[in-house]
Structure 1
Amino acid sequence: MNLPGTNTPLKVDRYQLQRDLDALAALTEPGKPWTRRSFTPMFLKGRDYLSKRFAEEGLSTSIDAAGNLIGRWQGMDASAPALMTGSHSDTVPSGGRFDGIAGILSGLAAIRAMREAGYTPKHSIDLVDFLAEEPSEWGLSCIGSRGMVGALAPDHLAMIGPDQERLDTAITRIGGDPARLGGKLHSDVAAFVEIHIEQGPVLEAEAIPLGVVSGIAGIARVRLRLEGEAGHAGTVPMNMRADAGMAMSRLLLSLRDAARSEAEKGRGHFTATIGVIKFEPNGANVVPGAAEAIVDIRAENDAAMDDYLAAIDTLAQNAATAEGCRVAATERLSRTFAVLCDQRLQGIIREAAEVHGLTTRPLASGAGHDAAFVARIAPAAMIFVPSKSGISHAPEEWTDTESIARAADVLALTLSTLDQKPLAPAA
């Protein structure tokens, strides 16, 4: 949207956005910047700040059955489906200066700018702080967005967390109502747009201000176990060993090479990472008798994921055989599927960026987000802003306020465009 009586695109208040970013960042566990773990007293302090700011900007506030904090700008047509934006205010330990918060506060900045310009929406606009997007102490992530779309199962709610507290009890404690979970809590959402820091190096490296997310990668995790024969490091000749550590080393390199091959096939974003590995008996003077690793695989294209998963058994067998070892396990621990962002929404975001003179590029998300679950009930899309040096989930995580403000400018225009001309039903 433009400023009234001009052709100048509306821009958000940078000063107020900075104040909100700083105020929320200050609510952190002592000595652990920037930490607000879900369900903790510090998290609730952050929620209290957001609730007050939502009210100050004219939004009615509520907490839904899944524990999501929602600020609503009531539209003129109470029967029209709502437009939704937002992200999450919880953090990983020592890593939440902008992760999640950028999406909530840019949404607040966009709504503030629209209200101050005298805009009155036809559709209600909901600003959401989703509960526990980050992996929680209950072993589950995206709790609020799962609950919103009916994806919190009874076994999820029965999970046990700190002090033996059940997840459903914890949700009740922060204002939710687990008894009402099971179905979709919001069936009247016209579209959802989430702003988030990139958490990677691409936008900064290419000096591009905004990424328009093409899709959110599916994630699989596989446990691998190779077994050989433990032996004395000084007495077993090199050519007579069944070294499970060496077999695992071969396998890790093969997994890396296979992932690079998938990434080069033009089927979208693809990564494989081995961040957990252990040897048994784990002694400096013992030839490893067994080795275990967990592989994290992320793919924008489900077919690429399927091909890679299908190749793991062969890669493991080849590596084990080369070192005189055997494959004891290739166990799939988990699998989620990729989510494509709505192409119509992507187009509206790109057009809004062009109005503001901003360059964009398509970019896949290798990280999970609440948008992946909200996409089950509404067209969804995401806007990425640059992360300094690609660092996230660490105290050094940083994104300039101007970068977030530019995304908020684009969000305001995107929301007003959707409000005036809602998306037609998907073909």
Structure 2
Amino acid sequence: MTSNLAVNADRIAADIEALADITEPDRPWTRRAFTPMFLKGRAYVEKIFREAGLETHIDAAGNLTGRRKGTVEGKGTIMLGSHSDTVPNGGRFDGIAGVIAGLEVARSLKDAGIALEHDLEIVDFLAEEVSIFGVSCIGSRGMTGVRPPEWLERSTDGVTLADGIRQVGGDPDTVFTRTDIKAFLELHIEQGTVLERENVDIGIVGAITGISRFEILVEGRADHAGTTPMNARYDALGAASIIVLGIEEIARELASGKSYFAGTVGEFSMEPNAANVIPSHVRMLIDARAVDDAVMDEFVASVTALCAQTASERSVTIADPRRVSHAAPTPMSEMVTGVLAESAQRIGATSRPMVSGAGHDAAFLSKVAPAAMIFIASKDGRSHAAEEWSDNDDIALGAAVLYEAVLALDKQ
């Protein structure tokens, strides 16, 4: 099918492979933002942007952009992009596929001699992944004016985030918000199994899930593990285990409904953590994701009731879940998702609506422009791992959907 597309699959494969070669040798595939290896990868991306005839620039937020001027001055910008940084020991496609697919759209338009009325801009956003400074989506937050100013003082090894932004060519002292973007599109690997399992080509992302994290503390009493009778114990870990399994059950039930939900106890610690002492204290951190605030509220109510019941039955103290962070769910533009679905149909690709369970730069671009994403399949759903893989034909097909969508959006 890719032989009939407007994009060039071989160029996409060559660029992704070239970026894969730029990695810390003992940790493939690793190019964490603000490291020398990241800057080396950035230099390659800038080179291929320029070879495609794009005018390159690093904005104040540290994003690398490549611009193809439109024929109508002041008409605005259609933007495509993702990120080239990786997690440690991460994958070759997460973020990278979106940057290269966007570049291939620009190259293919040039090959076809097509001039857009709008400017076309391809972006490699700075530090979409959690960075060495402990925060993520630094570039897209900066581009949309929502990067918290106090973040600039975050530091590691004596280097602040402000220093890091300067090192990549940005200007942390300049605060700005892009107002010229008329539409933003991001291609990304799914990082799940839905498309592969259902044998569907393209996922049309209608919403990016909200993420809340909750802390639960369980207080029991430390006693001798050998001399304390089994019916006279105040075991914090025993109670916590009931809560962990209960959270899993609640999450499964909510996920079986019509709205997306996922819940995970991802962080867990106990004290005193000694073989011959009954545990006295447990701390757990829940990661909960939903696109409907009402479903998140239902989860909180159910977990709160579970904690109260468990505390009573196990004679321990359990505080109500404490929300320690919250990011609201982000709906995508119905106009743009509609254009993407029509574009997929036009080239003969199958598609289905989806929700993104992970955060992406598109969530922040949606604050200043109509935005949407497409997913392409991930083998076995693997991501943030060296085994991450997406077939090049799938990436090329996604790039072709972007190509068609850009042409349609330019006419609108």
Which category of TM-score, normalised to the shorter sequence, fits these structures?
over 0.9
Could you report, residue by residue, the CA deviation over 1:18-69 in whole angstroms, capped at 9, with x for unpaired residues?
A: 1101000110011100000001100000110000000000000001110000
Q: Output aligned runs, 1:21-170, within 5 Å.
A: 21-161=16-156, 163-170=157-164
Task: Give the Cα–Cα distance (whole angstroms) in 1 for the partners of residues 297 and 166 of structure 2.
Answer: 39
After superposing the two structures, state which structure 1 stretch, 317-326 or 94-103, moved more: 317-326
Q: Percent identity?
A: 47
The Cα shift of 1:132 comes to: 0.2
CA distance in 2, matches of 1:389, 1:137: 29
**CA distance in structure 2 between the aligned counterparts of 1:310 and 1:225, rounded to whole angstroms:** 16
Q: Distance in 1 between matches of 2:291 and 2:319?
A: 30
Secondary structure of the residue that 1:128 maps to in structure 2? strand
Q: How does 1:343-422 map to 2 (within 5 A)?
A: 343-421=334-412
- Between 339-348 and 398-407, the greater mean CA deviation after superposition: 339-348
* CA contact 2:91–2:387 (8 Å) conserved in 1: no
**Contact preservation (8 Å) 1:248, 1:320:** no
Work out whether 1:286 is the aligned partner of 2:286: no
What is the CA distance between 1:287 and its match in structure 2?
A: 1.5
Pairwise CA distance, 1:329 = 6.2
**Residue 171 of structure 2: which of 172, 177, 181 is its match?**
177
1:221 corresponds to which residue? 213
Deviations 1:318-350 (A, max 9, x none): 122221100146322100000011111111111
Give the distance between the partners of 2:81 and 2:109, measured in 1 at CA.
16
Structure 2 letter corresponding to 1:177:
D
> What secondary structure is seen at the aligned counterpart in 2 of 1:38?
coil
| Separation in 2, partners of 1:61, 1:310 | 50
- C-alpha displacement at 1:10, in angstroms? 4.3
**1:178 alignment partner, SS class:** coil
Residue of structure 1 equivalent to 2:326: 335
User: Contact 2:211 / 2:287 at 8 angstroms: preserved in 1?
Assistant: yes
Letter in 2 for 1:215: A
Name 1:325's counterpart in structure 2. Answer: 316
Map 1:163-242 to 2 at 5 A: 163-181=157-175, 183-184=176-177, 186-242=178-234
- d(CA) in 1 for partners of 2:29 and 2:121? 26
AA aligned opposite 2:130? P
Contact 2:91–2:389 (CA<8 Å) still a contact in 1?
no
- Deviation of 1:78 (Å): 2.1
Tell me which amino acid in the other structure corresponds to 2:397: R
TM-score, length-scaled by structure 2: 0.97
The Cα of 1:284 is off from its aligned counterpart by 2.1
**Aligned equivalents of 1:78, 1:177: Cα separation in 2:** 27
- Looking at structure 1, the residues matched to 255 and 18 of structure 2 have their Cα atoms a distance apart, in angstroms, of 41
Unaligned runs of 5+ in 2: none
Letter in 1 for 2:226: G
Q: Deviations over 1:199-233 (max 9, x none)?
A: 01111111111100110000011111101111222
State the alpha-carbon separation in 1 of the partners of residues 295 and 195 from structure 2.
Answer: 24
Residues 226 and 329 in structure 1, CA contact (< 8 A), matched pair in contact too: no
More moved, 382-391 vs 322-331: 322-331
The answer as to whether partners of 1:132 and 1:141 remain within 8 angstroms in 2 is yes
**1:254: which partner in 2?**
246
Q: Hey, what's the Cα distance between the residues in 2 that align with 1:334 and 1:344?
A: 31
The letter of the residue matching 1:45 is K
